[in-house]
């Protein structure tokens, strides 16, 4: 008899609690009336990916870099473009100060880059293998940051740019010869839609 009474008592106590919880839940998800807003939230709309004329951008960069020896503009994909500028004489040895040949090459890029404000610019520095691996990594990062700062002072928005360095890790030529080391000293630009 005690078990039956306890079960009935629990049933009578739990039913109002469950109904109350259900009502509170329904009120919270419906919001209130009278001009106030609902408590439910929605995610903000994602920024649409800008449509970039990659072939047009490549053509502009090819034209701009036409007189820069060793500069290469890769074939565009649907969403990116890659270009490479040699910096063999772009920086003094063991320095991040831009020399005139690199500054002139960057100056030729600026009008084209400004014509495409929806393009993000990721700058990656590379070195040869002379010196320690860690030192070369740090030097390549500082050099890419120097390039980014140079472009910023010439009107490229900072929020479009990022910088990184790979040191000697991604060589494109033989580091045992001076000609190969010269090719490995470079700055690469990876252009993608700005997000």
For residue 132, what pLDDT band results from cuts at 50, 70 and 90? very high
Query: Other C-beta atoms within 10 Å of 190: how many?
Result: 16
Place of tokens 């990876």: 190
Collect contacts of 18-22 with beta carbons under 8 A, ≥24 apart.
Answer: none
Cβ 109 vs Cβ 87: under 8 Å: no
Are 173 and 106 contained in the same domain?
Answer: yes
Tell me which H or E stretch contains 118: none
Task: Report the pLDDT averaged over residues 170-191.
Answer: 94
- Residue 75 structural domain: 54-193
Per-position DSSP letters for 35-103, written without gaps between them: SPPPS---PPPPPPPPP--HHHHHHHHHHHTTTSTT-EEPPP-SS-EEEEEE-TTTB-TT--PBPHHHH
Are 155 and 70 contained in the same domain?
Answer: yes
Answer yes or no: is pLDDT of 109 > 80: yes
Place of tokens 């709309």: 45
For residue 64, what pLDDT band results from cuts at 50, 70 and 90? very high
Are 78 and 5 contained in the same domain?
Answer: no
Residue 144 forms part of a structural domain = yes
Are 77 and 103 contained in the same domain?
Answer: yes
Are 34 and 114 contained in the same domain?
Answer: no
**pLDDT given at position 48:** 63
Cβ 86 vs Cβ 185: under 8 Å: yes
Residue 49 forms part of a structural domain = no
**pLDDT given at position 26:** 52
Cβ 106 vs Cβ 154: under 8 Å: yes
Rounded-to-integer distance, Cα 112 and Cα 64, Å: 8
Task: Report the pLDDT averaged over residues 180-187.
Answer: 93
Are 92 and 184 contained in the same domain?
Answer: yes
Q: How far is CA 60 from CA 56, 70, 109, in A?
A: 6, 17, 9
Q: Find the angle CA(71)-CA(171)-CA(136) to the nearest 5 degrees.
A: 100
Per-position DSSP letters for 126-167, written without gaps between them: E--SSS-HHHHHHHHHHHHHHHHHHHHHTT--GGGEEEEEEE
Answer yes or no: is pLDDT of 61 > 60: yes
Are 73 and 165 contained in the same domain?
Answer: yes
Answer yes or no: is pLDDT of 94 > 60: yes
Number of domains in the chain: 2
Rounded-to-integer distance, Cα 16 and Cα 35, Å: 31
The model's pLDDT over 5-55, given as tens digits with 9 standing for 90+, comes to 444 545 554 445 444 555 445 545 444 444 444 455 565 556 666 689 999
Residue 116 forms part of a structural domain = yes
Are 81 and 145 contained in the same domain?
Answer: yes
């Amino acid at each position: 008899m005690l078990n039956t009474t306890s079960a009935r008592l629990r049933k009578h106590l739990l039913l109002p609690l469950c109904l109350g919880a259900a009502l509170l839940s329904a009120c919270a998800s419906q919001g209130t009336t009278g001009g106030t807003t609902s408590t439910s939230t929605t995610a903000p709309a994602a920024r649409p990916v800008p449509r970039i004329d990659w072939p047009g951008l490549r053509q502009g960069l090819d034209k701009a870099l036409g007189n820069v020896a060793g500069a290469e503009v890769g074939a565009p994909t649907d969403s990116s473009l890659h270009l490479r500028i040699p910096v063999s004489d772009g920086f003094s040895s063991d320095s991040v100060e831009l020399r005139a040949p690199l500054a002139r090459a960057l100056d030729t890029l600026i009008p084209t880059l400004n014509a495409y404000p929806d393009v993000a610019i990721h700058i990656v520095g590379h070195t040869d293998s002379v010196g320690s691996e860690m030192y070369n990594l740090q030097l390549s990062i500082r050099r890419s940051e120097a390039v980014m700062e140079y472009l910023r002072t010439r009107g490229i928005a900072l929020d479009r740019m990022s910088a990184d360095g790979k040191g000697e890790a991604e060589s494109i030529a033989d580091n045992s010869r001076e000609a190969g080391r010269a090719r490995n000293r470079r700055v690469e630009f990876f252009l993608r839609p700005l997000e």
